[in-house]
Structure 1
Amino acid sequence: MDQRRLILFLVFSFSLVMLWEGWIKHNNPAPAVQATTAAGAAADGSVPTPSVGLAASQSAVPGGQAATATAPRVVVETDLLRAEVSAEGGDIVRLELKQHQASGESDANFVLLDDGSVRHQYFAQSGLIGEGLPTHKTLFALPASELALKDGEDQVELRLQAPEQNGLQATKVMRFQRGSYLIDVSYEINNGSGQAIAPHAYFQLTRDGNPAEQVEAFGVNTFTGPAFFTDAEKFQKVHFDDITEGKAKFVKNASDGWVAMVQHYFVSAWLPEQGAQREYFARPLGNNLFSAGLIMPVASIEPGAQATVGSRLYAGPQEQDKLEGIAPGLDLVVDYGWLTVIAAPLFWVLSWLHKLTGNWGWAIILVTVLLKIIFFPLSAASYKSMAKMRVLGPRLQRMKELYGNDKAKMQQEMMNLYRTEKINPLGGCLPILVQIPVFIALYWVLLGSVEMRHAPWLGWIQDLSAKDPYFILPIIMGASMLIQMKLNPTPPDPIQAKVMMAMPIVFTFMFLWFPSGLVLYWVVNNILSIAQQWQITRMIESAKPGSKDA
């Protein structure tokens, strides 16, 4: 077995093993999820306690004990959002994104924050820490009717009044903007007591530990969990298991940054002002619920004085062209892993081509053509090497007949032949080896870019991030791969020849579950490769002996 084919076979085999392992995990039964109720977050979500380092009141007094599921709610609706705010804590317990459809449902909005009625328990909570101040368990007074952003308005404001205690009056104010997924959340604190107070404010995201969406390609799951960012420590992801086991590592105190809850395609994040001191935390609440958030000190409020403290909340899609402008480092929630150096520029080129064509499918085709042009010299050298190998096929077969029982002698004569004819036996592997990182990077671009979610191409392809519903592209890919095999020189070893001919079938089966955008890339790449390889092979086989082409 010559070295070129051995390396090619090992690359294919490694890919097959990795994908097969993913397929096995996909078909294993999912672990049983502990039963939880919509009130679980409220029942177990005790008020966080600031550390001594923040140097302020350490008291943490929970408010009313009403359950989130039964507490009254008010609806706030904008052009992009439909939010349900609970009287308990003034928490956002349900948030629909009106510009994004639910998976597999064409007539339903995607639900990001959820009270458990759709799939998850996921809340945006906040409160104050201090004697007589409202927490995320306090019952607020709601307006009589729902609020909606009217024509000509740029903002709608929701004001929630907390019960007065010991002369302290707090109002939670939430401002929703037109054309934005940002929500301004603040507290207006009036100190009507007879003494100065130094409270804290906390802002947290409470979520169950279940993955958001399962990608159809062999059960691959993207990261779901808290993430922290500061200028010093940069982006830090935290796994739910590490929180449970007390092994979570992230920045604890800083004067900048944010905390987020990341899931596939979407993110929610508390984004306080830069320069304000804060303490980050992540903790398990039991019943498969977790909270991640931050605590901020409020300057001392003298008797009769008023103070305001707040933070912005982003809850929406991971739109890469907008996240960086919202907060430093927020674009890092779109995580391409170790191939970011390739995937990020690749997405930028795809986005630019999408602006020209208006369609992500055509953008994928054009980026495939561009990549083929960039790697043209390498591909041409490789196909020339394979074409020469094809021409030398009869001579290699004769060597096998002459030295079939002497493997060492046969290898020696083959290497002498390659040296004489100036053929690189490994040349045919180079295009595939170069394509592998590009292929994986494009896979993660399709997997992690919300812009590709539910993006149609044409005809039956209505979601480039999902598998081909009729498996047409994978079948075309398999046929194109078979044609490529026919253009290659036939291996002298019969067993190796059978293995190589089985590859199109094996890869067709694997590609059935890959995102259709990725299969489209591979189909176009194969078609261009076939045209290039056919032309080079025709030129070399028809060239006269002694000519430049020969």
Structure 2
Amino acid sequence: METRRLVLLMIFSLSLIMLWDNYQASIGKPTLFGLSTGAQTSDKGDATKAGGSSAGSGAANDLPQAVAPTAGDVPADPNAIASGTAEAAPAAQTITVKNDVLELQFSSQGAQLITSKLLNHPAAENPELPVQLFEQTANRTYVGQAGLVGVPDAPNHRTLFELVSGSTEFAPGQDQLKLVFKATSGGVENTTTYTIFKNRYDIDLVINARNAGVEPVSPSAYVQITRDGNPLESDSSLYATFTGPAVYTPEKKYQKIDFEDIADRSADYVKTADSGWLAMIQHYFVSAIIGQDGPRENYTRQVDSNLYSIGLVSSLGTLAPEQTATYTAKLYTGPQDQSVLEALSPGLDLVVDYGWLTVIAQPIYWLLEKIHSYIGNWGWAIVVLTILIKLVFFPLSAASYKSMAKMRKVGPRMQKLKEQYGDDKMGFQRAMMEMYKREKINPLGGCMPILIQIPVFIALYWVLLASVEMRNAPWLGWVTDLAAPDPFYILPVIMAVTMFIQTKLNPTPPDPVQAKIMMIMPLVFSVMFIFFPAGLVLYWVVNNILSIAQQWVITRQIESAPATAR
């Protein structure tokens, strides 16, 4: 089989893989690259809607159900869903706090974190507005919750708290501020304190439980993130990124969890641990819970139709009257900045998910970041990185292009052989192999070097796709956002031209149908790449230009060399 046919087969195989990959993503299944989208899950039955838990046994089963808001309102009575009563209760208070990078809103209804706006990251669907993670509206439920369980009627995320102290504005020179919420019920006093830091995305959470009764009690503290399973407006139909919960423990490291696995109670993850973190992940951004070290139970569950929670619960021990126990945790709501995440907790940087190619992608990202630290422009950093990778694979590429050049050189002779043998395919194959042997041509020589490079190029693809640093990062002129498609389609057009030039440099397939397909491929790929982020297209354009230069030099050398005697 000619090298050209092998290349054609490889292209069609990759196309089929991409189609299957996107189909799997569209139905919420894991993709071949270890990614999946958060597909909306249908109602799984009245038992689940009423509060079925997928956490198994333990304290997590005692957690109160999340309250799905209607138009951003909370129920008049925070216990109405559980008790069936409808007595009037004081309205919940909303407290807004801003630092340099976040705008946060807390509700006195359960001392919940109900809004987090990332002030330095414009939303993809409306650049005039910031990206919003935590949100409690009619269309989106995504909140951070905490409370106490293990004691009947202990204050939890449905209890009405009182804001007892805390400034909502940073004073000059102040680098942190505290919001203190307090509620007492079931003979237990819950004092929940949030500490917001200037110019930081992480928030300290402290839960103080005091036994206000006359009998010993054994409360447990929990922290959870509750989110609906709806896809994001910014999700692309051309490539899949993971949206959903994740768990990290020293035992099993990083484990992603699909919403539908939570719904049907088949989610597989470490449920008991002494350290680690939990997170809710989406493209470029993450919200995470980093609990204090010590025995805990991790849990996930569907709390309502298309509403899911991931959290941890930890025992505070037995408290005598007036005795107090403290639980501390850290919340993060912000971009997937790997250096920041790694500093917060071991393994938290893994939310920047490169799938099964992480071992290759991580060094590539490290190199890209180092290049950017010197250049200061992510677009030019991509150009330099592509050049360096091309230099590393120069010998392999050279071997591939030499094989193609030899195939191109003997193309006319091969066509004559085909005409000479006519329908005698066996005779033609024998004559062709003799010619290959005489000209020292390896039919697989053009494909194998390319196949070896594919994992590296796929890893680089995911680095550019997953790196939040590409969002709103300009390159030059018309490219003002490397994470968005080229607004004037200049890069896709250049890519189509470079692919066409490469096609002309390659040996012409003897089959006319194959030849026509190869000529059409640049157009097909350019249309596809119109919708891809400009940073990815820039990488392909630079790689194609370098390949053309290398292949042109090698082809000229081979074609100018004297032919082997027949």
Same fold, TM exceeding 0.5? Answer: yes
Tell me the matched-pair count: 532
1:74, 1:84 within 8 Å by CA — same for their partners in 2?
A: yes
Q: Quick check: 1:520 aligned with 2:538?
A: yes
Q: Quick check: 1:254 aligned with 2:273?
A: yes
Amino acid at match of 2:239: V
Amino acid at match of 1:310: T
Task: Give 2:250's match in structure 1, choosing from 231, 246, 267.
Answer: 231
**Greater mean deviation of Cα atoms: 437-446 or 520-529:** 437-446
User: What residue number does 2:217 align with?
Assistant: 197
Computed over aligned residues only, the root mean square deviation of the Cα atoms, in angstroms, reads 3.2
> Alpha-carbon deviations, 1:96-145, whole Å to 9, x = none?
1112111132221110101126x521000001122453110111123699
C-alpha separation in 2, matches of 1:262 and 1:490: 47
C-alpha separation in 2, matches of 1:52 and 1:145: 35
C-alpha separation in 2, matches of 1:523 and 1:165: 64
Q: How do residues 385-396 of structure 1 correspond to structure 2 at under 5 angstroms?
A: 385-396=403-414
C-alpha separation in 1, matches of 2:102 and 2:545: 44
Amino acid at match of 2:8: F
- 1:381 alignment partner, SS class: helix
Amino acid at match of 2:221: A
Q: Check 1:412–1:465 CA distance in 2 against 1; reply closer, same or farther (3 A cut).
A: same
Amino acid at match of 2:78: G
Amino acid at match of 1:111: Q
Q: How do residues 103-182 of structure 1 correspond to structure 2 at under 5 angstroms?
A: 103-116=124-137, 120-129=140-149, 130-142=151-163, 147-162=168-183, 164-165=184-185, 168-182=188-202
> Alpha-carbon deviations, 1:255-276, whole Å to 9, x = none?
22222212221111211112x1
- 1:307 alignment partner, SS class: strand
User: What residue number does 1:88 align with?
Assistant: 109
- Structure 1 residue 302, shift from structure 2 partner: 2.0
- Structure 1 residue 278, shift from structure 2 partner: 0.8
User: What residue number does 1:352 align with?
Assistant: 370
User: What residue number does 1:38 align with?
Assistant: none
- 1:142 alignment partner, SS class: strand
- 2:447 alignment partner, SS class: helix
Select the structure with the greater relative contact order (CA < 8 A; seq sep ≥ 6): 2
Q: Check 1:175–1:323 CA distance in 2 against 1; reply closer, same or farther (3 A cut).
A: same
Q: Check 1:546–1:413 CA distance in 2 against 1; reply closer, same or farther (3 A cut).
A: closer
1:75, 1:84 within 8 Å by CA — same for their partners in 2?
A: yes
> Alpha-carbon deviations, 1:302-323, whole Å to 9, x = none?
2233332221111111111121
Q: Check 1:420–1:32 CA distance in 2 against 1; reply closer, same or farther (3 A cut).
A: closer
C-alpha separation in 1, matches of 2:349 and 2:396: 34
2:25, 2:240 within 8 Å by CA — same for their partners in 1?
A: no
1:76, 1:82 within 8 Å by CA — same for their partners in 2?
A: yes
Task: Give 2:230's match in structure 1, choosing from 179, 200, 210.
Answer: 210
Task: Give 2:483's match in structure 1, choosing from 459, 465, 480.
Answer: 465
2:39, 2:230 within 8 Å by CA — same for their partners in 1?
A: no
Q: Check 1:75–1:45 CA distance in 2 against 1; reply closer, same or farther (3 A cut).
A: farther
Q: How do residues 382-531 of structure 1 correspond to structure 2 at under 5 angstroms?
A: 382-531=400-549
Amino acid at match of 2:144: A
- Structure 1 residue 193, shift from structure 2 partner: 2.4
- 1:98 alignment partner, SS class: strand
Q: Quick check: 1:79 aligned with 2:67?
A: no
| Seq. identity, % | 47
- 1:532 alignment partner, SS class: helix
User: What residue number does 2:8 align with?
Assistant: 9
User: What residue number does 1:39 align with?
Assistant: none
- Structure 1 residue 61, shift from structure 2 partner: 11
> Alpha-carbon deviations, 1:463-508, whole Å to 9, x = none?
2222222221111111111111111222222222222222212222
2:224, 2:289 within 8 Å by CA — same for their partners in 1?
A: yes
Q: Check 1:255–1:224 CA distance in 2 against 1; reply closer, same or farther (3 A cut).
A: same
C-alpha separation in 1, matches of 2:22 and 2:223: 39
C-alpha separation in 1, matches of 2:175 and 2:52: 36
C-alpha separation in 1, matches of 2:339 and 2:131: 21
- Structure 1 residue 213, shift from structure 2 partner: 5.1
2:51, 2:304 within 8 Å by CA — same for their partners in 1?
A: no
2:165, 2:180 within 8 Å by CA — same for their partners in 1?
A: no
**Greater mean deviation of Cα atoms: 198-207 or 13-22:** 13-22
User: What residue number does 1:304 align with?
Assistant: 322
- Structure 1 residue 397, shift from structure 2 partner: 2.2
- Structure 1 residue 396, shift from structure 2 partner: 1.6
Q: Check 1:21–1:272 CA distance in 2 against 1; reply closer, same or farther (3 A cut).
A: closer
User: What residue number does 2:360 align with?
Assistant: 342
Q: Quick check: 1:329 aligned with 2:347?
A: yes
